[in-house]
Structure 1
C-alpha cells in the first residue's frame, strides 16, 4: 500500500432551515461563514479555529438516532453551559469518560447529535 495522505475532512450536517442553523452555529457558537451557494442558500461552509462544518439544506431531513459529529473544544464545561442556556437537548450528560475525555452529547436545532469532548 502506498503512503496515504489526507487533507481537510469536514462534517456535513443536514439542516431543515438554513437561517435557524446559521443563528445557532454563527450567532451562538461563533462560527464564520466562508462560503455559500444557491438562492435560496442550499450549501454553506462555516469555520471556527481549526473546525469546519458544511451545512446542506435538506427540508425533509430526519435526524439520525446516533452521533453524526465529534467536536473537540477547549472548554467543554462552557460549551455544555452554552447548550443548556440555549435550550438544546442534552442526550448524554457531561462527565469524565474512561477513555480520557470529559464529554457530553447534544442535539443541534435540527436534531443532529454532536459529541463534544475535551481531554481530561
Structure 2
C-alpha cells in the first residue's frame, strides 16, 4: 500500500459577493484568478503555491486562514497602500514568525507571515 502524500491545503472562505472578493484579493494581495465559475458561485484565487477558494453564501460567517510568505514587510506595505483593513499590526512573534492580519470585505481574517527566526 502506498503512503498518502498531502500536496497542499486550500481554505474555503464563504463570501457574500464572489466578484467583490476576487477584486479584493487581486488588488490587495496580487492574487491571480485560478478558477472563475460565477454560475456555481465559486472562484479560486492564488499566488505561487497558495490558493483560497471563495464560495458564495448568503450569510457568510467570518473565518480565516494563515498564509506563509517571503517578503512580509513588502506585502504589508502593499496592503496598507491598497487600503486594506489591518486588524493586527505587523509584528515579530516570540515563536519566530513576523506577521500581520488583514480583514477582507466579509470580515475574514487573513494572517500573512514570514519565518524570521526559529523559536528557542
Q: Give the TM-score normalised by the residue count of structure 1.
A: 0.82
Mapped to 1, the partners of 2:56 and 2:90 lie a distance apart of 30
**RMSD (Å), alpha carbons:** 1.9
In the alignment, structure 2 segments of 5+ residues that lack a partner are: none
Q: Which residue in the other structure is 2:45 paired with?
A: 46
Question: How many residues are treated as equivalent by the alignment?
Answer: 115
Alpha-carbon shift at residue 3 of structure 1 (Å)? 4.5
- C-alpha distance in 2 between matches for 1:96 and 1:35: 34
Matched, 1:97 2:99: no
Where structure 1 has 5 or more consecutive residues not aligned to the other structure, the ranges are none
CA distance in 2, matches of 1:103, 1:27: 20
Q: State the partner residue of 1:87.
A: 83
Question: Equivalent of 1:114, from 99, 110, 113?
Answer: 110
Structure 2 partner of 1:36: 36
Render the CA deviation track for 1:37-76: whole Å, top value 9, x for unaligned: 342x501122311111111011311324xxx200112111
The runs of at least 4 aligned residues of structure 1 exceeding 3 Å deviation read: none
TM-score (norm. length: structure 2): 0.82
Q: How does 1:52-71 map to 2 (within 5 A)?
A: 52-64=51-63, 68-71=64-67
